[in-house]
Amino acid sequence: MKKLTLIITVSLLSLGQLSAQKKQQSLTKNSKKMNTTEQAAHYTFKLSDKVTREKVTFKNRYGITLSGDLYIPKNAGNEKLASLAVSGPFGAVKQQSSGLYANQMAERGFVVIALDPSYTGESGGEPRNVASPEINTEDFSAAIDFLGLQKNVDRDKIGIIGICGFGGFALNATAVDKRVKAVATTSMYDMTRVISKGYNDSVTPEQRTKTLEGLSLQRWKDAENGKPADGPRNLPETLKGDEPQFVKEYFDYYRTSRGFHPNSVNSNGAWLITNPLSFMNMPILTYVKEISPRPMLLIAGENAHSRYFSEDIYKAAAEPKELMIIPNGVHVDLYDKLDMIPFDRLESFFTQNLK
């Protein structure tokens, strides 16, 4: 069971650096005091004075109501604009990184929707805090549906940005949904690969079998109890100091005032124990070559533990493609550090390819 817990914990992913213990306890205590409206209004970045933000809802193909924030340039006028759908990181909500990206890209003239995935944040779906390679891919296509119905959007000029685990879902959505004209990812994770094979494909067949046996037996427990059980918290209240560096980096984003949000699974909760099941046999990037001839931009930090995902997809993909490595960057730098995220390149990439 120890190996099972280890592999499941690795699969939870969006983890993070040490902060003062009292500050952490204060964050959690204050988050519990927030009502639903206050939680929805809490953003980890400042809205640009050049942009408007509107709460919207729409349904995906499975009938789940998704919640999004629509960002629109104030000087848009009556012109039909290029648009983008943004989501991620895996375990985050739209008031965190995806909203920051949407805010920045709307400043640059795009209509952008940042969305909460199914079963998380303000989006619908039961049970809570579960992910699905199929449904989370569909969430992007549902956002494309929504954008294409807006009067100020040119439905022939729609792109996607995926952050962290939603980078993999963004690529999968682009491969299958030919309405998407260009796709960019930052700090990309292939969630199906890391959950089924571990970091750097280190999980042995014996470990994989043991994990699946444990997850299968957990289903009996969930069936007996009438509901699925939560796994361990994605991040602890405090760090001991001997955690892997990438865990400290995740902690520094999700569990401090830098990026904490009470609705975020990574900031304030846990995935279901059986969450890995649907990822174990579904390699979502099998058809990444079919994104071509539409362009792909992969952005990763030089020192990111996740860098190899972007490099391997770059090798597997067909042209046109670009791999951009950010000097000295780590994985979470591309969540919110404006001096590290290459927004000028994202702007030129989508401006060039959404026309």
- Tally the residues of the chain: 355
- Output the pLDDT for position 337: 98
Token pair of 20 as six digits:
């003062």
In terms of DSSP bridges, do strands 182-186 and 153-163 run parallel, antiparallel, or are they unpaired?
Answer: parallel
- Output the pLDDT for position 41: 80
CATH number of the domain bearing residue 260:
3.40.50.1820
pLDDT range class, residue 308, cuts 50, 70, 90: very high
Q: Tell me the per-residue pLDDT of 84-119, one tens digit each, with 9 for 90 and over.
A: 999 999 999 999 999 999 999 999 999 999 999 999
pLDDT range class, residue 34, cuts 50, 70, 90: low
Percent of the chain with pLDDT over 90: 87
Is it the case that residue 23 has pLDDT exceeding 50? no
Residue burial 114-147, b: 16+ Cβ < 10 Å; e: rest: bbbbbbbbbbbbeebbbbbbebbbbbbbbbbbbb
What average pLDDT does the chain have? 91
- Output the pLDDT for position 31: 53
| Full residue range of the structural domain in which residue 233 is found | 2-353
Taking residue 3's Cβ as centre, other Cβ atoms within 10 Å add up to 14
In terms of DSSP bridges, do strands 51-59 and 65-73 run parallel, antiparallel, or are they unpaired?
Answer: antiparallel
Distance CA 119, CA 316 (A): 31
Is the separation of the CB atoms in 293 and 317 below 8 Å? no
Token pair 């996607």 in the structure block, residue: 160
Q: Tell me the per-residue pLDDT of 122-136, one tens digit each, with 9 for 90 and over.
A: 999 999 999 999 999
Is the separation of the CB atoms in 297 and 348 below 8 Å? no
The total number of structural domains that make up the chain: 1
- Which residue, 324, 305, 308, 312, is CA-closest to 285? 312
- Output the pLDDT for position 5: 37
- Output the pLDDT for position 11: 43
Sheet strand arrangement including 153-163: 51-59, 65-73, 111-115, 81-87, 153-163, 182-186, 296-301, 321-326
Is it the case that residue 6 has pLDDT exceeding 80? no
Distance CA 218, CA 229 (A): 8
CA dist 6 to 47, 199, 245, Å?
Answer: 39, 12, 16
Is the separation of the CB atoms in 101 and 86 below 8 Å? yes
pLDDT range class, residue 14, cuts 50, 70, 90: very low
- What mean pLDDT do residues 293-317 have? 98
- Output the pLDDT for position 36: 67
Is it the case that residue 334 has pLDDT exceeding 60? yes
Is it the case that residue 21 has pLDDT exceeding 60? no
- Which residue, 100, 54, 92, 83, is CA-closest to 143? 83
For residue 219, the Cα-to-chain-centroid distance in whole angstroms is: 26
